[in-house]
């Protein structure tokens, strides 16, 4: 695990030329052949920082190297894959949102229904209680209900 933590040391080469291998490319004509290879050129340092050439530490970049191309290609593939996944994930997440929204609505509807049911039942209960009370002591005469009245009431 000892990776050399290189927080900031961007390669500032500044110059890079890349050439892709000529696959079966049917390039009938190659325009000006600007395909120099990496190689720092005797370009003058603008403003001053001269990069001492010679050999950089680990020229991972030997653009000509077959190895290099192979690594690049592999990475490009990996990148594509990764991005594809990322995109897919985003879509899935979006879909999840939609599903959850639906679910949500469903639940709210159910709650409404249950609430209604509950309310009806409660009313029924109260009504019943009243009936009982009335039955026991019909308010026919309209006075002195006292005898035995079980306070109907529930809750």
What whole-number distance in Å separates Cα of residue 20 and Cα of residue 27?
12
Restricted to residues 30-69, the positions that interact with a second copy (CB under 8 A) are 30-36, 39, 41-44, 46-47, 50-52
Residues 65 and 49: beta-carbon distance below 8 Å: no
Q: Which residues contact 38 (CB under 8 A, 6 or more apart)?
A: 15, 16, 17, 61, 62, 63, 64
- For DNA, the binding residue among 14, 15, 40, 121 (CB under 7 A) is 40
Q: Which does 93 bind (CB under 5 to 8 A by kind): DNA, a second copy, none?
A: a second copy
Burial classification of residue 68, based on how many CB atoms lie within 10 Å of its CB (0-12 exposed, 13-18 middle, 19 or more buried): middle
Among 39, 95, 115, 149, binds DNA (CB under 7 A): 39
DSSP per-residue codes, 115-141: HHHHHHHHHHHHHHHHHHHHHHS-TTS
Does position 122 interact with DNA (CB under 7 A)? The reply is no
Which residues contact a second copy by CB under 8 A? 8, 10-25, 27, 29-36, 39, 41-44, 46-47, 50-52, 90, 93-94, 96-97, 100-101, 103-104, 107-108, 110-111, 114-115, 117-118, 121-122, 124-125, 128, 136-137, 154
Which residues contact DNA by CB under 7 A? 1-12, 16, 18, 20, 30-32, 34-40, 60-61, 63, 68, 71-83, 85-87
């Amino acid at each position: 695990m000892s990776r050399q933590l290189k927080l900031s040391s961007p390669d500032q080469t500044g110059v890079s030329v890349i050439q892709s291998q000529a696959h079966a490319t049917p390039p009938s004509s190659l325009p000006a052949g600007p395909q120099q290879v990496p190689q720092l050129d005797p370009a003058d340092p603008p403003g001053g920082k001269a990069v001492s050439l010679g050999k950089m530490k680990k020229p991972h970049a030997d653009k000509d190297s077959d190895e290099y191309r192979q690594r690049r290609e592999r990475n490009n593939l990996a990148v594509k894959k990764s991005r594809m996944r990322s995109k897919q994930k985003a879509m899935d997440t979006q879909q999840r949102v939609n599903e959850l929204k639906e679910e949500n609505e469903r639940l709210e509807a159910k709650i409404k229904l249950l609430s209604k049911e509950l309310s009806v039942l409660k009313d029924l209960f109260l009504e019943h209680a009243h009936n009982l009370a009335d039955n026991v002591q019909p308010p026919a005469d309209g006075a002195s209900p006292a005898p035995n009245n079980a306070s109907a009431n529930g809750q």
